[in-house]
Amino acid sequence: MTETKTVIAVSHLQKQVLAAAANKDKETLSILSDINLTIVAGTSVAITGASGSGKSTLLGLLAGLDLPSAGQIALFGQDLTQLSEDQRAALRLGKVGFVFQSFHLLEHLTALENVLLPLELGRNSGDLKQAALAALEQVGLSSRAQQLVTKLSGGEQQRVALARAFVTQPQLLFADEPTGNLDRHTGQEVSALLFRLQRDYQTTLVLVTHDESLAAQCDYWYRLAEGRLQRQEQSA
């Protein structure tokens, strides 16, 4: 029997922020309330919800980019609430990749140089340039490796972002609206590539999106509403 490995375990998570109200003292605004979630290795999980529902806030908490107001988040078995910011960054290094709506590429660098960055920052050995070129080839951009990313189309830039995210072969990938800045056709191409790479590398995927057709392709789908996660039924 195959043993399932828990990558993320969330228990009774809450997030409140201070909101300044006119003519009043600062009051607390509840963003997330009593979130419970378990994500096992190799699965894909989608989180949808209306704008402002807290989807990106939740993703940031799951990744350890921020800390909850209450509750517990375990990433790779480590309680994030007990780790410093530097310790959380060290935990992510080489194990976690990110893809964002706005690409977050360094504009003064070429496609190849952008993909090389996580390899140079991480604990990697071997021919780093060859590894980066191989990652670009996987996303169909080997011929554009020496181009500045500002010379690439939006779809090409997101492909570079995917290559950069997967070049370290991360155990876990967080994707925040990865097709949000793309037209429908390009978005479909990029999402197909995302899921292919996820399957090829058996990467755990946590996807935040407003696109329900994209969410439906994941193994599990949750909707965030009024600060709580609701499991959505998946069609066979």
CA angle 157, 185, 202 (to 5 degrees): 65
At residue 205, does pLDDT exceed 80?
A: yes
**Where does the chain have alpha helices with state H?**
55-62, 85-92, 111-121, 128-138, 154-166, 184-201, 212-215
pLDDT at 3: 64
* Alpha carbons 46 and 120: distance in angstroms, whole number: 30
The model scores a pTM over 0.85 = yes
Identify any residues that bridge with 221 across adjacent strands, giving them in sequence order: 46
pLDDT surpassing 90 at residue 86: yes
What pLDDT is recorded for position 122? 72
Burial 43-82 (b: 16+ CB within 10 A, else e): bbbbbbbeeebbbbbbbbbbbbbeebeebebbbbeeebbe
Report the pLDDT averaged over residues 211-217.
93
Nearest one of 119, 104, 213 to 158, comparing CA atoms? 104
CA–CA separation, 93 and 188 (whole Å) = 29
Torsional class of 93: left (φ above 0), alpha (ψ -120 to 50), beta (otherwise): beta
Structure confidence by residue, pLDDT tens digits, 88-144: 999 999 899 999 888 899 999 999 999 999 998 876 667 899 999 999 999 999 999
Beta bridge partners, 173, equal 97, 205
Average pLDDT over residues 208-228: 94
Q: What is the DSSP letter of 218?
A: S
Q: What pLDDT was estimated at residue 1?
A: 45
pLDDT the model gives residue 49? 93
Sequence-separated (6 or more) residues with CB below 8 Å from residue 76: 7, 91, 95, 171
The answer to whether the beta carbons of residues 149 and 106 sit under 8 Å apart is yes
Give the span between the Cα atoms of 110 and 231, in whole angstroms. 41
